[in-house]
Amino acid sequence: MIPQTLATDRRIINPRLDMLPDYPFERLRGLLDPLPPPSHLSPLAMSLGEPQHPYPDFVGEILHANRHLYGKYPPVAGTPEFREAVVSWLNRRFDLPEGLVDADRHIAPCAGTREALFRTAFLTVPPEKAGNQPVVLMPNPFYQCYAGAAVAAGAEPVFVNAVAENGFLPDFSGLDEETLARTALVYFCTPGNPQGAVADLDYLNDLVALSRQYDFTLVVDECYAEIYNGEAPPGTLQVCAGSGDLSGVLVFHSLSKRSNVAGLRSGFVAGDGELITLFRRLSEYGGNPSPLPVYAAATALWRDEDHVVANRALYREKFDLAERILSNRFGFYRPDGGFFLWLDVGDGEAATRELWTQAAVRVLPGSYLAAADGDGGNSGDRYIRVAMVHEYAIMEDALARIAETL
């Protein structure tokens, strides 16, 4: 409860902000910053999913060649060339029929996907649903922006466990009728962060059907779709292609992971034409369109596959390395997609402290990415997340330190 004096001082502050979950990296700094790492070892940061592989040289060349366009306000809808490149990539990557996704009706650019995923809740969450406060469903563990968006939009976030027992894929359909009736929005991620689970077409088909049965918007975050170990992960638009119906479905993709340009801040949302129109309309008021030189570079990146194939090969080499060093320990498994290890170490927070103070390796406790369930337990308690984003030699050093320390 807020003390009365504090409540008075904060009378103009939106009280929903007090409901926002603590951000994982703030918690991590609070846990580790007071603790010194060993002085004889160089610190290695494996906590942040920030790709460190090289990006194509043509990115810088295109930005420089188009630098005169920084003097222009960029269009919220992006450039025609950008939208057409995106549609062409979607059709190639997911074998979509020509015309399913229209460049003018079904595509909106975004400055990375985090801000756009957050903003989508304001499009799709009504003041009430089924006569009650709306619900936003999401996997548990979850990307923190999903929960923040739910709270900011006035919904109740409901966390659905994605654990080893269900293949790290949440069973949304198993929820009670009252919760599903109140659901306005579902966030889902495939390949998943942090577990790397990939939803097959049957799972996605059932999820799309559930969204239409209960009239909620389905938002599928597919930003790790180009980083995989075996077969290419399917996409949600492939399910929609069967009926030609995109209604109620939005998918998000980004260049941050695919092309190692997290700082470029470029992605897109595709799907339901009416929702895309609303997304663009809201963006006119509070969006953050990419500069025109960024659109030009992003257009070239979506058209090029060579750098993506090379990038994927680098991750596969590092997962080969992890398998050699960590197999048969810490519940190691090779994820189907994404670039994280999700290691069962018994006590994730204790292991995180130990790795920092003894090995100068910074990882993220799994519980910082998950919400407590009804009995006070946390599905992430036993785990740590290790980001496999650095070059091979650094990862070899980090994984060896992890194996030796734990």
CATH of residue 196's domain is: 3.40.640.10
Side-chain-side CA neighbours of 156 within 13 Å: the count stands at 12
- Alpha-carbon span 153 to 119, nearest angstrom: 9
Reported as a pLDDT band with limits 50, 70 and 90, residue 10 is low
Claim to verify: residue 98 and residue 110 sit in the same structural domain: yes
pLDDT of residue 5: 45
Claim to verify: residue 66 and residue 202 sit in the same structural domain: yes
**Residue 3 pLDDT exceeds 50:** no
Claim to verify: residue 316 and residue 201 sit in the same structural domain: no
Side-chain-side CA neighbours of 152 within 13 Å: the count stands at 16
- Alpha-carbon span 65 to 62, nearest angstrom: 5
* Of the residues 271, 304, 337, the one at which a domain ends: 304
CATH number of 390's domain: 3.90.1150.10
- Alpha-carbon span 319 to 99, nearest angstrom: 38
Task: Give the E-state strand segments of 178-308 in sequence order.
Answer: 183-189, 217-221, 249-254, 267-271
Whole domain around residue 346: which residue ranges? 4-54+307-405
Claim to verify: residue 330 and residue 345 sit in the same structural domain: yes
Claim to verify: residue 191 and residue 294 sit in the same structural domain: yes
Is residue 87 helix, strand or coil? helix
Claim to verify: residue 187 and residue 72 sit in the same structural domain: yes
pLDDT of residue 288: 86
Reported as a pLDDT band with limits 50, 70 and 90, residue 189 is very high
Claim to verify: residue 157 and residue 265 sit in the same structural domain: yes
pLDDT of residue 9: 58
Is residue 279 helix, strand or coil? helix
Q: What angle do CA 19, 21, 22 make, to 5 degrees?
A: 125
* Of the residues 304, 324, 341, the one at which a domain ends: 304
Claim to verify: residue 196 and residue 336 sit in the same structural domain: no
pTM of the entire predicted model? 0.94
* Of the residues 279, 304, 329, the one at which a domain ends: 304
Q: How distant is the alpha carbon of residue 328 from its chain centre?
A: 28
Q: How many domains does the chain have?
A: 2
Question: Any residues with CB less than 8 A from the CB of 134 and at least 6 apart, and which?
Answer: 125, 126, 127, 128, 153, 154, 155, 156, 182, 183, 184, 185
Claim to verify: residue 21 and residue 38 sit in the same structural domain: yes
Claim to verify: residue 350 and residue 300 sit in the same structural domain: no
Q: What is the dihedral of CA 394, 396, 397, 399, to 10 degrees?
A: 120
